[in-house]
Chains A and B, each alone.
Chain A
Amino acid sequence: GAGVSQTPSNKVTEKGKYVELRCDPISGHTALYWYRQSLGQGPEFLIYFQGTGAADDSGLPNDRFFAVRPEGSVSTLKIQRTERGDSAVYLCASSRGGSQETQYFGPGTRLLVL
């Protein structure tokens, strides 16, 4: 596609519920990243995939957060037992892989946990 797309653009849920956030990377990009941006802050790294495997998941805050990329393209970020503190914009980015490559960001999913 023309750029990174994320769905839904907005998600409102209740505390304790389960949510899934989807990311469609740019076609042919092998690397995919998830970041979280809280109000008034810069994005914070969550997890990085190279192909199908999670190469670095050191940014996941706890075991309620999980992400998959089963076919090396689309990725889903899953949050169990949501808490109000999970409210943020979740950003996805993709790149060709390699440290010099530019990461291209999607528009984000704005998650609100009531």
Chain B
Amino acid sequence: AQSVTQLGSHVSVSEGALVLLRCNYSSSVPPYLFWYVQYPNQGLQLLLKYTSAATLVKGINGFEAEFKKSETSFHLTKPSAHMSDAAEYFCAVKKSSGDKLTFGTGTRLAVRP
């Protein structure tokens, strides 16, 4: 079975600082990995996904993530935080042959002025 662990339920950074949100996965088969963002009272929006092409994936709004098989990680980064980045971020995993997403418990990002 697939699972995802997101370390840190709350992360706070200053505007302009590096954003690093951690995600580790476990999967018995090669996985597909996703990061979604959820703004208050809105649905989930895809930031980026890894589907076994390039290990460094660039997404929307300046975010990127690197798939590291040796570390079973898929951490999300952004060089410089904006106030508008404040939201909840979810990492999710899916079997390459499957369809349902398994989500982590989420990380709430706060950006201080």
Q: B-contacting residues of A (Cβ < 8 Å)?
A: 4, 31, 33, 35, 40-45, 48, 55-56, 59, 91, 93, 99-100, 102-108
Contacts and interface: CB of A to CB of B under 8 A. Distances in A.
Contacts, number: 58
A99 B32 contact: yes
A20 to B, nearest CB: 20
A57 B45 CA distance: 24
Interface residues of B, number: 26
Given A31-B99, A99-B32, A99-B95, A42 B104 contact: yes
Contacts of A56: 99-100
B100 A43 contact: no
Interface in B86-113: 90, 92, 94-106
